[in-house]
Every structure is written in structure tokens, then in C-alpha cells.
């Protein structure tokens, strides 16, 4: 280990210059104008995989952007195999005028590197590439088997990855998946993220009279789709955040005493939170902490609503139509399809006969929870402690990373979410950055992790 850690210490300049190189490539996946850059980025990674001594390197074409694969499988069948997943595509850069330095000209200020993709996810990809390089250049081999897969469509919904995994089961099968694409809880708080919320996304469409009607001539005698929709929404959740859909909580695993204690260790600065969001009061279920509300409890939120006249001034109509998009965040063991059914049944039950109410399920993803007893998580805990010098904290993420479920379903393997970004580093926003302390400490963490896992 000493040799490894010394190599990492002596090679900070090399580690940084490769990070700068990949960040210069404008691999924006949602815009065909950047197709050339997407291909250039895949080729750059292929070259890097070659340099660090991976085998079976190949750029797999898909119907969308290519997937880059490489592996090193010479540790022997008695050693575990991990699959490292990441993505080389980045979000678009608009609003471009809010960037202090150009998004594809990486710039260092206060030991942070500023560029689109700095933390999401190129910086975190490079942590793994540079860890493998360190092993290969010092001891000439790895103590475990490693497969490395990088896709180019994460920011546009990983459209072709599921099919690829299904068609390459043997190539990808493994004991654990490792993804570095999440955040630490805060500075100097290395984090183990062991859960993600799932999602059920619904739409309600209401049709009343065949046309918009004059609200003077018909008001009082013809029901109003917007009023009906508002009443339906008001019956989905009470004002304290409790969801009123029959059976909604039936499969929810309560937060354990142990989890509750862990969550209470996480600092939460109410003043800063309210100030940053410009809200005057917090919200949520009464007997839960803010961290629990936003990561470990199911939710119901309207994402958009529409109906009738939205312009300036006044228009006096009973609108013919109204609609709403509603997403529910799910926790173990809620099932997205079952929740979609419960939602639909409940909405139908509370709808009046004066209007037509249609309910559609738009998409769903299961919640995810990893066991804290898995060897990969145990190895990660030890490694983070060694690299950072402090005990890691246990966190859950309120959002969803659908690919985690895809891996579980197809490959049967659990995912370790080992994130080195910070919450205020503006992933997806202007002036995205990545703290270089976490870049170097991340590399050390992975060096320890690979070693721990081999034991």
C-alpha cells in the first residue's frame, strides 16, 4: 500500500493534467451538434484504458452514443469481480452567460476545478482510471478483477444501456457494481449512500364540457375541470405531507431506530437551507427530521398543472380541460406499478361523475436499498476512513438512479454508491466544479478499497 500511496502523491500533476484533458472535450449528449465531441471522448477513454493496461477494450456502438468497455480479469476466480460504471456525457451548458470561465476551458480557483462535467461525472470517472493506473504502474497488477463500463447517455435517460446490459450479460456479470456519481453529505464528511428513492410518475387529465364555456352563462350549472382537479389533488395528501391514497404506506419499511440515530448525526443547517431556497418555513411530516423527509419517506408532488386561460388579464371561462403531472417518490418496499394502480383506483374513487377523469402512468422506478453488511460496503467504510481520517456517514439519496435497479434486475448484483462530489458543486448548473482535495482523496480511497476487497 505504501508504494501505491506514494505513487499517487508523486503523480498529482499527471492526475490533474489528464482530468483537464477529458474536461476539454465538449461531450454534450443531448445535442447532435456535439456528436464529434462525443466520439472524441469515447476514443480518449479507449486510449486511456490502453495506457493503464486494461484488456478487451472496445467501443460498442449503440443506436445512440457509444459505450466504452475494458477489463482486467487476471486476479483469479477466487477474487471478487467489480464492475465500475460511469458516464462520459455531460449536461448542456446553458445559461452560458452565468459561467465565470468557459465550461470547456477547465480553470482552477481555490483548489477547485471549474468545468462542465467536473464532478458529474468525469472527475469521478478519472478517480477510478487513476487508481487502476497506480496499481498497474507500481505493482503491475490488480488484486481483484475489474470491469469498467462508461456510457454516453446518462444525462438523456440511459436509453440504450438496459438493452446493452441484457445482451452482454456474460461480459458484465460481477459481484458488485461501483458507481461514483453521487455527492458526499458535506465537506470532510465522506459518505456511504446506501439507499435511493424510487418513483411513480402519473398524469391526470380532466375533460368537462366539450368547449370552454362562458363562466357567466354556465357558471353554477356545469362543473369546472380546474375546480375538480384542485379538489382531487387536495385529497391526495394532507397539509402535513401525509399521503391519503388507500394502501399507499402498506409496503413502507419504517425507519429503524439505528437509521434514525445515524440520520440525527448528520448536520442540517435550517437557516442556511431556508436562505438558499428563499423559503420562510420548512415543510413535511411531523415526526420526521428534514433529512428523513427528503431521503427516506415517500412523497407526492405536483410537477406541473395546466388548464384554461394562462395569459395576462382576465378571461371568463369554464375551461373544457385541465391536467396535472404528479410524481411520488417511493421507499422500500413500495412497488412503482402497485403504487400506480393504487393511485389510479383512488383518483377514480374520489372523482365526481360530472367530468371525465383519465389517469395515466408515465414511468416508474423501484426504490433501492443496499445492505450495510455487504463486503463492498464494509470495504468502502474502511477505505474512506483511511483516506479521509474520519468516520464516514451513512446517507440516502432522495432522488432515483434508475440504472441501479437495472443492474440489480439483470445482473443480480448490488451497487456501491461511492460519491466524491459536494452538494454545492452545481452539477447540471453553471460553474460546475470539483474539489481537487476530493479528487486526490478519492483516488486514495479507491486504492484502499481495491486492497480491502481483495482480503
Residues in 322-351 that interact with a second copy by CB under 8 A: 322, 324-325, 327, 329
Closer by beta carbon to a second copy, 431 or else 451: 431
Query: In the window 124-163, what residues touch a second copy (CB under 8 A)?
Result: 156-157
Closer by beta carbon to a second copy, 47 or else 315: 315
Burial of 300 (0-12, 13-18, 19+ CB in 10 A): buried
Q: Is the peptide bond before 246 cis (omega within 30 degrees of 0)?
A: no
Q: How far is the CB of 361 from a second copy (least distance, A)?
A: 11
Handedness of CA 261, 267, 271, 274 (dihedral sign): negative
Task: List the alpha helices (DSSP H) in 394-435.
Answer: 402-411
Q: Report residue 231 as a C-alpha cell.
A: 379538489
Q: How far is the CB of 116 from a second copy (least distance, A)?
A: 13
Query: In the window 410-449, what residues touch a second copy (CB under 8 A)?
Result: 423, 426-431
Q: Provide the 3-class DSSP secondary structure of residue 380.
A: helix
Of 186, 205, 223, 345, which lies in the binding site for a second copy, with binding defined by CB under 8 A? 223
Residue 268: CB partners within 8 Å, gap ≥ 6?
Answer: 289, 290, 291
Of 231, 247, 264, 391, which lies in the binding site for a second copy, with binding defined by CB under 8 A? 231
Q: Report residue 189 as a C-alpha cell.
A: 464528511
Q: Report residue 409 as a C-alpha cell.
A: 434486475
Closer by beta carbon to a second copy, 188 or else 275: 275
Segment contacting a second copy by CB under 8 A, of 16-24, 132-140, 187-195, 299-307? 299-307
Q: How far is the CB of 379 from a second copy (least distance, A)?
A: 26
Closer by beta carbon to a second copy, 256 or else 314: 314
Query: In the window 359-398, what residues touch a second copy (CB under 8 A)?
Result: 362-363, 397-398
What are the phi and psi torsion angles at 269 (to 5°)?
-95, 95
Query: In the window 187-216, what residues touch a second copy (CB under 8 A)?
Result: 197, 199, 201, 208-216
Q: How far apart are CA 102 and CA 26, in angstroms?
A: 11
Which of 448-452's residues contact partners 24+ apart within 8 Å by CB, and which partners?
448/1, 448/382, 448/383, 448/386, 448/387, 449/379, 449/380, 449/383, 449/418, 450/131, 450/135, 450/142, 450/143, 450/144, 450/146, 451/1, 451/4, 451/143, 451/383, 452/378, 452/379, 452/380, 452/382, 452/383
Decide if 66 contacts 39 (C-beta within 8 A).
yes
Closer by beta carbon to a second copy, 219 or else 389: 219
Closer by beta carbon to a second copy, 123 or else 307: 307
Is 306 an interacting residue with respect to a second copy (CB under 8 A)?
A: yes
Q: How far is the CB of 191 from a second copy (least distance, A)?
A: 13
Q: How far is the CB of 13 from a second copy (least distance, A)?
A: 31
Closer by beta carbon to a second copy, 212 or else 333: 212
Q: How far apart are CA 145 and CA 73, in angstroms?
A: 5
Q: How far apart are CA 44 and CA 38, in angstroms?
A: 10
Q: Is the peptide bond before 229 cis (omega within 30 degrees of 0)?
A: no
Query: In the window 254-293, what residues touch a second copy (CB under 8 A)?
Result: 276-285, 290, 293
Closer by beta carbon to a second copy, 257 or else 281: 281
Q: How far is the CB of 209 from a second copy (least distance, A)?
A: 4
Task: List the alpha helices (DSSP H) in 90-181.
Answer: 123-138, 161-167, 169-172
Query: In the window 92-111, what residues touch a second copy (CB under 8 A)?
Result: 92, 94-95, 98
User: Residues in contact with a second copy, total (CB under 8 A)?
Assistant: 100
Of 107, 224, 344, 451, which lies in the binding site for a second copy, with binding defined by CB under 8 A? 224
- Each residue 36-65 as x (binds a second copy by CB under 8 A) or -, in order, gives ------------------------------
Segment contacting a second copy by CB under 8 A, of 44-52, 63-71, 226-234, 436-444? 226-234
Closer by beta carbon to a second copy, 128 or else 197: 197
Decide if 22 contacts 42 (C-beta within 8 A).
no
Q: Report residue 368 as a C-alpha cell.
A: 433501492
Residue labelled with grid coordinates 471522448: 41
Q: How far is the CB of 229 from a second copy (least distance, A)?
A: 7
Q: How far apart are CA 298 and CA 241, in angstroms?
A: 9
Of 4, 226, 339, 443, which lies in the binding site for a second copy, with binding defined by CB under 8 A? 226
Of 20, 57, 233, 372, which lies in the binding site for a second copy, with binding defined by CB under 8 A? 233
Amino acid at each position: 500500500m505504501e508504494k501505491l500511496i506514494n505513487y499517487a502523491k508523486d503523480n498529482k500533476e499527471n492526475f490533474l493534467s489528464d482530468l483537464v484533458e477529458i474536461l476539454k472535450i465538449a461531450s454534450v449528449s443531448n445535442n447532435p451538434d456535439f456528436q464529434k465531441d462525443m466520439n472524441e471522448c469515447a476514443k480518449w477513454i479507449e486510449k486511456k484504458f490502453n495506457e493503464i493496461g486494461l484488456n478487451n477494450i472496445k467501443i460498442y456502438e449503440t443506436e445512440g452514443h457509444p459505450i466504452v468497455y475494458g477489463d482486467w480479469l487476471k486476479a483469479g476466480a477466487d477474487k471478487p469481480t467489480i464492475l465500475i460504471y460511469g458516464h462520459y456525457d455531460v449536461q448542456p451548458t446553458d445559461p452560458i452567460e452565468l459561467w465565470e470561465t468557459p465550461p470547456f476551458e477547465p480553470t482552477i480557483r481555490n483548489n477547485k476545478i471549474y468545468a462542465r462535467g467536473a464532478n458529474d461525472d468525469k472527475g469521478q470517472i478519472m478517480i477510478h482510471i487513476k487508481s487502476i493506473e497506480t496499481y498497474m504502474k507500481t505493482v503491475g497488477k490488480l488484486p481483484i478483477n475489474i470491469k469498467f463500463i462508461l456510457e454516453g447517455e446518462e444525462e438523456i435517460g440511459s436509453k440504450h444501456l438496459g438493452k446493452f446490459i441484457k445482451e452482454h450479460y456474460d461480459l458484465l456479470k460481477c459481484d458488485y457494481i461501483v458507481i461514483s456519481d453521487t455527492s458526499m453529505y458535506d465537506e470532510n464528511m465522506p459518505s456511504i449512500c446506501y439507499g435511493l428513492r424510487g418513483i411513480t410518475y402519473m398524469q391526470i387529465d380532466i375533460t368537462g364540457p366539450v368547449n370552454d364555456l362562458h363562466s357567466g352563462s354556465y357558471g353554477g350549472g356545469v362543473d369546472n375541470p380546474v375546480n375538480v382537479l384542485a379538489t382531487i389533488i387536495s385529497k391526495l395528501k394532507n397539509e402535513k405531507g401525509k399521503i391519503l391514497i388507500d394502501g399507499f404506506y402498506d409496503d413502507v419499511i419504517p425507519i429503524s431506530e439505528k437509521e434514525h440515530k445515524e440520520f440525527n448525526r448528520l448536520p442540517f443547517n435550517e437557516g442556511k437551507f431556508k436562505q438558499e431556497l428563499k423559503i420562510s418555513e420548512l415543510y413535511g411530516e411531523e415526526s420526521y427530521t428534514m433529512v428523513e423527509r427528503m431521503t427516506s419517506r415517500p412523497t407526492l408532488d405536483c410537477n406541473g398543472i395546466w388548464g384554461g386561460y394562462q395569459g395576462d388579464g382576465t378571461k371568463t371561462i369554464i375551461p373544457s380541460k385541465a391536467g396535472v403531472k404528479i410524481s411520488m417518490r417511493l421507499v422500500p418496499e413500495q412497488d412503482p406499478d402497485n403504487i400506480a394502480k393504487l393511485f389510479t383506483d383512488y383518483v377514480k374513487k374520489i372523482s365526481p361523475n360530472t367530468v371525465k377523469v383519465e389517469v395515466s402512468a408515465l414511468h416508474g422506478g423501484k426504490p433501492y436499498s443496499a445492505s450495510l453488511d455487504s463486503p463492498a460496503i464494509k470495504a468502502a467504510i474502511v477505505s474512506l476512513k483511511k483516506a479521509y481520517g474520519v468516520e464516514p456517514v451513512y446517507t440516502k439519496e432522495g432522488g432515483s438512479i434508475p440504472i441501479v435497479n437495472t443492474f440489480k434486475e439483470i445482473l443480480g448484483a448490488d451497487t456501491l454508491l461511492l460519491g466524491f462530489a459536494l452538494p454545492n458543486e452545481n452539477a447540471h448548473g453553471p460553474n460546475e466544479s470539483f474539489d481537487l482535495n476530493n479528487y486526490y482523496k478519492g483516488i486514495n480511497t479507491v486504492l484502499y478499497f481495491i486492497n480491502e476487497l481483495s482480503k
